[in-house]
């Protein structure tokens, strides 16, 4: 080994070590979006390869935000490819397998777009994003440090993610908005802000502006990138654990701590367990609420036999194998708001909300 090789070897080891430190964070992000999908670990490894390949071009302090954006796009690409495979399954030729040269060009373009989009964020936006999603600081902690409120910090994070999506799409397409109205419209679409879309008359703008009409498609179909809502399919006991973990992760980001966090996770476990026990299958969605009040809304849906007598089902100690019942009274006590909609033979929907108590 030459002296130069000996000097370069520690640098490569340090470089790999820094990227390897991202693994726990990437696994949390992948798990929150696709659960125990067979490709979960492959997505983590693909992200690490892309980050390691681009590390020399990433500015100091930008490694974690770059990795976050990269893993989101790897997941989004996987979902698009799965959809394309399903649509072209009947064909003899599989268009989902590009030539190696084409694949390399596309990968390079995506990495360049990610770097450019991250560079367009302000220092404050990057710092809060890094502290929240990488370091795991709750919104309440960030609010205390900045003299703000948890709701204001959550709203700022939502705006930052929406802007990052817009800037990424613009950079990937290599275009600049043709009018001053374009970016606000694209941002309103990216953040799913319907009130702002109405104020800007976004539908009319999309009819008039071909550029925004084209760019709106990836922004409107941004399910894999959404951070404020998680959906967990429920059909077996392991799904109960997945729903509880998803609720805890989102609640921690919202600012829940201590007893409130435990009560929320317990309530989610109870409604998910009832789906498995009495309805066989269903879904639990957990949504972060960041309006005038901050909190978490949980909606448990199933298409099971339903509840014949909702009032009796909410009585302590009541249980029936003809519908939901066990665990509902306890869940109602643990949450701030609780409601049930059910009809025999059509399934049941349980909606419950936990609010973050404001500090004096």
Let me know whether 1 and 48 are in one domain.
Answer: yes
17-33 per-position pLDDT tens digit? 666 678 888 888 888 88
Q: Which two tokens stand for residue 222?
A: 């941004």
Which residue would you say has higher pLDDT here, 56 or 3? 56
Q: Does 95 fall in a domain? A: no
User: How big is the CA angle at 95 (ends 94 and 101), to the nearest 5 degrees?
Assistant: 120
Which sign does the torsion angle of CA 13, 18, 23, 24 carry?
Answer: positive
- Quote the domain boundaries for residue 244: 229-355
Task: Report the domain count for the chain.
Answer: 3
186-245 per-position pLDDT tens digit? 988 888 777 888 888 887 787 778 888 888 877 765 443 345 778 788 888 788 888 888
pLDDT, residue 322, reads 39
Please compute, for residue 183, the number of CA atoms within 13 A of its CA located in the half-sphere on the CB side. 11
Which CA distances in Å does 261 have to 247, 329, 342? 9, 19, 28
Let me know whether 219 and 285 are in one domain.
Answer: no
Q: How confident is the model over 312-331, as a mean pLDDT? A: 60
User: For residues 288 and 248, what is the distance between their CA atoms, to the nearest angstrom?
Assistant: 11
Reported confidence tier of residue 317, pLDDT bands at 50, 70, 90: low
270 CB neighbour count, 10 Å cutoff: 22
Let me know whether 159 and 54 are in one domain.
Answer: no
Beta strands in the chain (DSSP E): 229-234, 282-290, 294-302, 337-343, 347-355
pLDDT, residue 110, reads 64
Phi-psi region of 258 (alpha: psi -120 to 50; beta: other; left: phi over 0): left
Contacts of 212 (CB under 8 A, 6+ apart): 177, 182, 185, 186, 205, 206
265-308 per-position pLDDT tens digit? 888 988 998 888 888 788 898 988 877 788 999 999 888 888 88
Counting residues of the chain whose pLDDT is more than 70, the rounded percentage is 75
User: For residues 135 and 64, what is the distance between their CA atoms, to the nearest angstrom?
Assistant: 10
- Computed over every residue of the chain, the mean pLDDT equals 76
pLDDT, residue 157, reads 85
pLDDT, residue 109, reads 57
Give yes or no for residue 337 having a pLDDT over 70: yes
CATH number reported for the structural domain that contains residue 319 in this entry: 3.30.565.10
Burial category of 50 from C-beta neighbours within 10 Å (exposed 0-12, middle 13-18, buried 19 and up): buried
Which residue would you say has higher pLDDT here, 116 or 287? 287
Let me know whether 252 and 347 are in one domain.
Answer: yes
User: For residues 50 and 59, what is the distance between their CA atoms, to the nearest angstrom?
Assistant: 15
Let me know whether 244 and 290 are in one domain.
Answer: yes
Give yes or no for residue 358 having a pLDDT over 60: yes
């Amino acid at each position: 080994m030459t002296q130069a090789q000996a000097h370069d070897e520690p640098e490569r080891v340090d470089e790999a070590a820094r990227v390897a430190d991202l693994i726990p964070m990437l696994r949390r992000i992948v798990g929150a979006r696709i659960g125990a999908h067979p490709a979960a670990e492959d997505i983590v490894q693909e992200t690490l390869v892309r980050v390691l390949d681009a590390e020399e071009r990433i500015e100091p302090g930008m490694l974690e935000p770059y990795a976050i954006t990269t893993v989101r796009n790897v997941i989004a690409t996987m979902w698009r490819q799965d959809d394309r495979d399903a649509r072209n399954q009947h064909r003899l030729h599989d268009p989902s397998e590009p030539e190696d040269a084409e694949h390399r060009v596309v990968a390079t373009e995506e990495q360049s777009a990610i770097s450019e989009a991250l560079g367009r964020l302000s220092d404050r936006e990057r710092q809060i994003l890094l502290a929240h999603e990488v370091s795991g600081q709750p919104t309440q902690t960030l609010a205390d440090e900045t003299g703000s409120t948890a709701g204001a910090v959550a709203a700022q994070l939502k705006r930052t993610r929406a802007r990052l999506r817009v800037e990424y799409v613009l950079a990937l397409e290599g275009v600049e908005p043709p009018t001053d109205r374009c970016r606000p419209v694209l941002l309103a679409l990216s953040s799913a802000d319907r009130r702002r879309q109405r104020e800007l008359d976004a539908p009319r703008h999309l009819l008039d502006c071909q550029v925004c009409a084209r760019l709106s498609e990836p922004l409107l179909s941004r399910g894999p990138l959404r951070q404020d809502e998680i959906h967990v399919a429920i059909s077996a006991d392991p799904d109960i654990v997945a729903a509880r973990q998803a609720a805890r992760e989102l609640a921690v980001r919202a600012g829940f701590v201590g007893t409130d966090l435990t009560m929320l996770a317990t309530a989610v476990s109870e409604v998910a367990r009832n789906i498995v026990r009495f309805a066989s299958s269903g879904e639990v969605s957990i949504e972060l609420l960041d309006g005038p009040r901050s909190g978490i809304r949980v909606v448990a849906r199933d298409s099971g036999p339903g509840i014949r007598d909702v009032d009796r089902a909410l009585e302590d100690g009541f249980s029936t194998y003809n519908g939901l019942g066990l665990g509902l009274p306890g869940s109602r006590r643990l949450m701030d708001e609780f409601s049930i909609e059910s009809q025999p033979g059509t399934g049941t929907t349980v909606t419950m909300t936990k609010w973050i108590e404001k500090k004096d």
